[in-house]
Structure 1
Amino acid sequence: MKNISILLVLVLLFSSCDDLFEPALENNRGLEAMYNEPTYAQGILANGYLLLPYSSAPNSDVATDDAVTNDNANDYLAMATGSWTANSNPMSQWQARRNAIQYLNLFLANVDQVVWSKDEVINTMYYDRLKGEALGLRALQMYHLLLTHGGWTQDGRLLGVPVLTEPENAASDFNLPRNTFQESVDQIMADAEDAIELLPLDYGDIANAQVPQKYQALGVTNAGDYNRVNGNHMRGRITARIVEAVRAQVALLSASPAYSAGTEVTWEDAANHAATVLDRIGGVSGLAENGGTWYVKEEVDNLASGATPAEIIWRGDVGQSITLEADNFPPSLFGLGRVNPTQNLVDAFPMVNGYPISDPASGFDPANPYADRDPRLSKYIVLNESVQGPNNSVIVTGTYGTNNDALNRESGRSTRTGYYLRKLLRKDCNPNPEFNTEQKHYNARIRYTEIFLAYAEAANEAWGPTGTGGNAYSAYDVIKAIRERAGIGIDNDDEYLDMVNGDKDAMRQLIRNERRLELCFENHRFWDLRRWKVANLNETARGLQIEKPGSTLIYTPINVEARDYKDYMYHGPIPYGEVQKWTNLEQNAGW
């Protein structure tokens, strides 16, 4: 993808050189120039990648019950505490997604006229792949547009977004109404199906005997020709496997409580779409052993160019960086301590025996709250007196601490909750200006664990905890495997999971909690709370004050941040300026 960006810049630079030799009427090139210049054409497609909606930072988590920020100027803090409006919306995807879709529509309208290769068969392979990429990217971009802006109107209709499949120009009618939510889903699914048909499952060099049958039928017998189009050097672009995962995300959203009354997508549909993705890795047996810590040194440093770990369906580029650590390490490690996990989230981690800490059988001790807890707790969150950083420095968040790591010690840098972020960060980074040590990072766009949890959620709703609907595994099987990987219930065969095994409602709560833990700080929680339409969206963010008057630690829960979401905010707004401009563009209820 870096190469695509460079090519796009070079094309634009060279296209501006005419004026060096003689005056030009305009310094813009027409789209027809792409027909004989594949690089120029791919530059248009590249915008579908450059405008991808993924973030490597846990931005939206600070607007949920999982975290707060110590940055008083943070837009998500303002949003969560009562300042979310249709013209002040940090969640908005309207402009970026529509921009991406416009570029993709331009490409799709012209892709069949581009000469990709003088060889007819190779030209066909290029055409298939590049058209498939554009369709897959359009499905993905439209999904995120729908996720953010789809919602119910004042008169009780579930609307999606305007479905645009042709490029807009000066003569276009821009005053378009929104399509229904179902029509939007239908278009996404249609694009996804077409993309899956055109794209390879994965990119990679193959042998002669592995050339796909459809290209063998056209006369391709030399794998070198196929590899030229779909070989290792293409890894990182969208594939059929990735589009299948996006399709599963769309189905899960559509079947969820906040949308289901206005769609035709069922929980069974959502489970089966997720199963399509999971069956390709052998179902539950394919759950990656180290999937919960895909961001650590051992998983990143030796990653081959374009390759993905077993946990990752799609990732961003690997790059040297220290941004996450500089933003989120405690002050004593030259960090800003920006994302502070809440006590709400800490309490969601069960005991190592699998029981919630609220269950008398858990053995939880409020006077020793971190003992015998789910191992993921200490992997994802910096607890009081745990270590962090390149020198394993002890971090004291209690009020008895002697530096700015302590609770509320310094505005804008110290923790507000008694916790700091550990997940996503590499301890071998060093933000100290004397060293400024960067390490490799990448953004996990879609993880297999996310799709496993989507299957568990949908399968439980469709067929109950142990039903399979004809698939090879149940919601119970998935959750057991995920908890075993985390180190939960190893000594007692996860008694708690077996207790809820016959109760769909209890299993639902457990699945949602596992999703919360496994995907924390990856920008899923906000969207999950909305699609479930649960009260947690307005739950007060809590922390823990830890004092040490003598030799004993005293733990006191504290309220940190009251949230101010209204009921209508389970669905986001159409931007205020767009509704003002276009009379046919109807706003969601409440905004």
Structure 2
Amino acid sequence: MKNKFLIYLVLVAILSSGCKDLITPQIENNRQLQESYNPSDAKFPYGLILNGYTRIPINSWSFNDVATDDAVTNDKSSSFLKMATGQWAANNNPVEQWSNCFAAIQYINLTLEQIDKVNWAVDTTVSRLFNMRIKGEAYGLRALFYYYLLQAHAGYGQDGSLLGVPIVLHSQAVGDDFNLPRSTFKQCLQQIEADLDLAATYLPVDYKDLTDNSQIPDKYGTVSKEQYNRVMGKTMSGLLSGRVAMAIRAKAALLAASPAYSSASGGSWASAADDAASIIDLKGGVAGMAANGLTWYGNASEIAALAEGQNPDEILWRSNYSESNDLEADNFPPSLNGKGRVNPTKNLVDAFPMANGYPIGATGSGYDSNNPYNSRDPRLSDFILVNGDKAGVNNTVIKTAADGGTNDGLDRTETSTRTGYYLKKLLRQDVNLSSTSTTTQRHYKPLIRYTEIYLIYAEAANEAWGPTGTGGHSYSAYDVIKALRQRAGIGTQNGDAYLESIKTDKDKMRILIRNARRLELCFEGFRFWDLRRWKAPLNETATGTSIKNNQYSTINVENRLYQDYMEYGPIPYSETLKFSNLVQNKGW
């Protein structure tokens, strides 16, 4: 009887709640765009564009260098290791950007479609300024994501056309035609340029507080400095600015002018040089090169003093800083409690010249194969740990010799170096990974460094006008490379005799510029893409150095198994299965 009475009570409760509630679902608790057009809810629609920021492909380190001749990894499960040794495929692509970038573009397109409906602030002038700034951010971000799509997926189709990716300029919804053909590379480049032109009409060059109304650019109309600073002031630093948009243009122009794309891209070396020069001029020309730009990642006092969004002299755009020791935990040698993941190659070590500026194989270099690290380019000791170097908070001697007696030695354990070298660049040596006194330090990820912009100019200007030509600017490729080498401490005792000997030779200067880019930007995710846009050899065997009884010998560490068609990445296989109009690149 007791159980029957309980059942009866439950039935009464159900019936008293009303049949309608049983069969009709409640309104879902999902925010709709229409609900967020008032100033009190403006943060919600801005969240759409924030989705774009969080998807920027270089927000974190990829270390795809281990798939090039610059490094290998001791992580046997690494997708980059597998890619470099023959497993790269359209359905197994560690450098794929398709899904991420098109998802970001969807959010950006939604932003552009909704932005004029939103009241961003009670003050109508401030609301108009917010409208302009966010439009500028959106156009700039869309250009950035199309740049990364071209870098990862542009290539020649089966009919010999240089193709880019589908251009999507509106948000896609159920019922839309998703079976879109790829636009040409040239059309994609034109779209990037058009978006950047629009970004420039809305954005300030830099976000900074103004002290007088007369400083407000005319394009913003009648505005007070208080209203301007609220929207475009220094508290917005870190967002995409006019200067960042200029840098994206220079990056895209360099890609288009490069040998892999130049025949059908519509780009030119002169355009790439001009675009880079427009930023360099804002920096004060070659003289504006940051004196401490080589060691930006380890300039402890500079990093400690960073305010939110503010940039060191070397950095054009960066991520937020964080307190961590992840990079060190992954890459310190075993004796410092690290995993030693990224192992620079002897190929890269040999690319560093002597301190006198001569390549190690050149007559007059003074290179001694029995004492290979003596009198070398100072950047070598900044970027790479070699046998006998000191590292870590306690200046521990790192012995990479095969007979060195520690787990730092060549191939001693699964976390030991495979090449005889460990990564030093990017790592804070004041991090302690000891289990009894673990510490973290402040790090940040640069999105664009000024050194990259100077190198874009040097490469493009040399190709357009020769080593000493200026194209109407006040500096040449030679001037930039000379300044970079002086900053690195190269050739300071002999007037950089090697550079002077090749300053009129475009081909030799090209080799030097490409090598400068290799060294200055190593481990920052450039080499993988540079080799492909240059149509340079991809299959150089990764080598290392074995030291036994103080004798140095070169060892082959890892064979690269790339095919010629892999100068261009694939369209994702899953996408070509779904959409018949999506043409795959040759070879894939």
TM-score of the alignment, normalized to the shorter chain, above 0.5:
yes
| Alignment-derived partner of residue 313 in structure 1 | 316
Distance, in Å, in 2 between the alignment partners of 1:24 and 1:141 is 39
The one-letter code matched in structure 2 to 1:322 is: N
Q: Aligned pair 1:291/2:288, yes or no?
A: no
Q: In the superposition, relative to structure 1, how do residues 585 and 426 fare at CA in structure 2: closer, same or farther (>3 Å)?
A: same
| Alignment-derived partner of residue 555 in structure 2 | 558
**Is contact 2:203-2:242 (8 Å) kept?**
yes
Q: Aligned pair 1:581/2:584, yes or no?
A: no
Task: Please provide the CA RMSD for this pair.
Answer: 1.3
| Alignment-derived partner of residue 543 in structure 1 | 544
Q: In the superposition, relative to structure 1, how do residues 520 and 213 fare at CA in structure 2: closer, same or farther (>3 Å)?
A: closer
| Alignment-derived partner of residue 228 in structure 1 | 230
**Is contact 1:545-1:556 (8 Å) kept?**
yes
Per the TM alignment, residue 304 of structure 1 is displaced from its structure 2 partner at its CA by 2.1
Describe how 1:379-528 pairs up with structure 2 within 5 A: 379-411=382-414, 413-528=415-530
Q: Aligned pair 1:112/2:89, yes or no?
A: no
Distance, in Å, in 2 between the alignment partners of 1:299 and 1:513 is 28
**Is contact 1:291-1:449 (8 Å) kept?**
yes
Distance, in Å, in 1 between the alignment partners of 2:360 and 2:62 is 26
Per the TM alignment, residue 390 of structure 1 is displaced from its structure 2 partner at its CA by 0.5
Q: Secondary structure at the match of 2:364?
A: helix
**Structure 1 stretch displaced more, 462-471 or 207-216:** 207-216
Q: Secondary structure at the match of 1:546?
A: strand
**Is contact 1:211-1:226 (8 Å) kept?**
no
The one-letter code matched in structure 2 to 1:573 is: P
Distance, in Å, in 1 between the alignment partners of 2:375 and 2:58 is 35
Q: Which has the larger radius of gyration?
A: 2
Moved over 4 A (4+): none
| Alignment-derived partner of residue 323 in structure 1 | 326
**Is contact 2:125-2:227 (8 Å) kept?**
no
Per the TM alignment, residue 124 of structure 1 is displaced from its structure 2 partner at its CA by 1.3
Per the TM alignment, residue 554 of structure 1 is displaced from its structure 2 partner at its CA by 0.4
Q: Residue by residue, what CA displacement relative to the aligned partner does 1:237-277 show, whole Å, maximum 9, x if unpaired? A: 11000010010000000000000011111100010000011
Describe how 1:256-267 pairs up with structure 2 within 5 A: 256-267=258-269
| Alignment-derived partner of residue 250 in structure 1 | 252
Distance, in Å, in 2 between the alignment partners of 1:370 and 1:279 is 37
| Alignment-derived partner of residue 13 in structure 1 | none
Distance, in Å, in 2 between the alignment partners of 1:24 and 1:230 is 42
Distance, in Å, in 1 between the alignment partners of 2:214 and 2:30 is 44
**Is contact 2:259-2:535 (8 Å) kept?**
yes
Per the TM alignment, residue 409 of structure 1 is displaced from its structure 2 partner at its CA by 0.2
**Is contact 2:210-2:216 (8 Å) kept?**
no
| Alignment-derived partner of residue 15 in structure 2 | none
Distance, in Å, in 2 between the alignment partners of 1:582 and 1:305 is 44
**Is contact 1:135-1:191 (8 Å) kept?**
yes
| Alignment-derived partner of residue 381 in structure 2 | 378
**Is contact 2:352-2:519 (8 Å) kept?**
yes
Distance, in Å, in 2 between the alignment partners of 1:323 and 1:565 is 31
Per the TM alignment, residue 305 of structure 1 is displaced from its structure 2 partner at its CA by 2.1
| Alignment-derived partner of residue 9 in structure 2 | none
Per the TM alignment, residue 433 of structure 1 is displaced from its structure 2 partner at its CA by 2.1
The one-letter code matched in structure 1 to 2:328 is: E
| Alignment-derived partner of residue 533 in structure 2 | 531
State which of 352, 360, 377 in structure 1 corresponds to 2:363.
360
Distance, in Å, in 2 between the alignment partners of 1:49 and 1:55 is 9
Structure 2 residues without counterparts, runs of 5 or longer? 1-20
Q: Secondary structure at the match of 2:106?
A: helix
**Structure 1 stretch displaced more, 141-150 or 339-348:** 141-150
| Alignment-derived partner of residue 166 in structure 1 | 170
Distance, in Å, in 1 between the alignment partners of 2:62 and 2:383 is 13
Q: In the superposition, relative to structure 1, how do residues 573 and 216 fare at CA in structure 2: closer, same or farther (>3 Å)?
A: closer
Q: Secondary structure at the match of 1:110?
A: helix
**Is contact 1:57-1:324 (8 Å) kept?**
no
Q: Secondary structure at the match of 2:247?
A: helix
Structure 1 residues without counterparts, runs of 5 or longer? 1-18
Distance, in Å, in 1 between the alignment partners of 2:76 and 2:357 is 37
Q: In the superposition, relative to structure 1, how do residues 213 and 366 fare at CA in structure 2: closer, same or farther (>3 Å)?
A: closer
Distance, in Å, in 1 between the alignment partners of 2:387 and 2:499 is 30
Distance, in Å, in 2 between the alignment partners of 1:513 and 1:301 is 32
User: What TM-score does the superposition give when structure 1 sets the normalisation length?
Assistant: 0.94
Q: Secondary structure at the match of 1:362?
A: coil
State which of 37, 50, 63 in structure 2 corresponds to 1:46.
50
Q: Residue by residue, what CA displacement relative to the aligned partner does 1:281-324 show, whole Å, maximum 9, x if unpaired? A: 11101100000111011331121221101100000001001000
Q: Secondary structure at the match of 1:298?
A: helix
Distance, in Å, in 1 between the alignment partners of 2:33 and 2:123 is 23
The one-letter code matched in structure 1 to 2:294 is: G
The one-letter code matched in structure 1 to 2:429 is: K
Distance, in Å, in 2 between the alignment partners of 1:217 and 1:148 is 40
Q: Secondary structure at the match of 2:557?
A: strand
| Alignment-derived partner of residue 85 in structure 1 | 89
Distance, in Å, in 2 between the alignment partners of 1:147 and 1:33 is 38
Q: Secondary structure at the match of 1:542?
A: strand
**Is contact 1:66-1:341 (8 Å) kept?**
yes
**Is contact 1:56-1:442 (8 Å) kept?**
no
Q: Aligned pair 1:201/2:205, yes or no?
A: yes
Distance, in Å, in 2 between the alignment partners of 1:503 and 1:64 is 28
Q: Residue by residue, what CA displacement relative to the aligned partner does 1:14-65 show, whole Å, maximum 9, x if unpaired? A: xxxxx9xx97322323222232221111111110111111144352100000
Distance, in Å, in 2 between the alignment partners of 1:427 and 1:24 is 57
Distance, in Å, in 1 between the alignment partners of 2:200 and 2:367 is 49
Distance, in Å, in 1 between the alignment partners of 2:252 and 2:434 is 43
Q: Residue by residue, what CA displacement relative to the aligned partner does 1:79-127 show, whole Å, maximum 9, x if unpaired? A: 0000000000000000000000000000001111111123222111111
**Is contact 1:34-1:41 (8 Å) kept?**
yes
Distance, in Å, in 2 between the alignment partners of 1:465 and 1:58 is 33
**Is contact 2:129-2:220 (8 Å) kept?**
no
Per the TM alignment, residue 216 of structure 1 is displaced from its structure 2 partner at its CA by 6.7
Distance, in Å, in 1 between the alignment partners of 2:452 and 2:201 is 24
The one-letter code matched in structure 1 to 2:312 is: P
**Is contact 1:389-1:428 (8 Å) kept?**
yes
**Structure 1 stretch displaced more, 139-148 or 247-256:** 139-148
Distance, in Å, in 1 between the alignment partners of 2:301 and 2:91 is 44
**Is contact 2:59-2:319 (8 Å) kept?**
no
Q: Secondary structure at the match of 1:545?
A: strand
Per the TM alignment, residue 569 of structure 1 is displaced from its structure 2 partner at its CA by 0.2
**Is contact 1:33-1:40 (8 Å) kept?**
no
Q: Secondary structure at the match of 1:284?
A: helix
Percentage identity across paired residues of the two chains = 55
| Alignment-derived partner of residue 5 in structure 1 | none
The one-letter code matched in structure 2 to 1:546 is: I
Distance, in Å, in 2 between the alignment partners of 1:589 and 1:344 is 30
| Alignment-derived partner of residue 11 in structure 1 | none
**Is contact 1:460-1:507 (8 Å) kept?**
yes
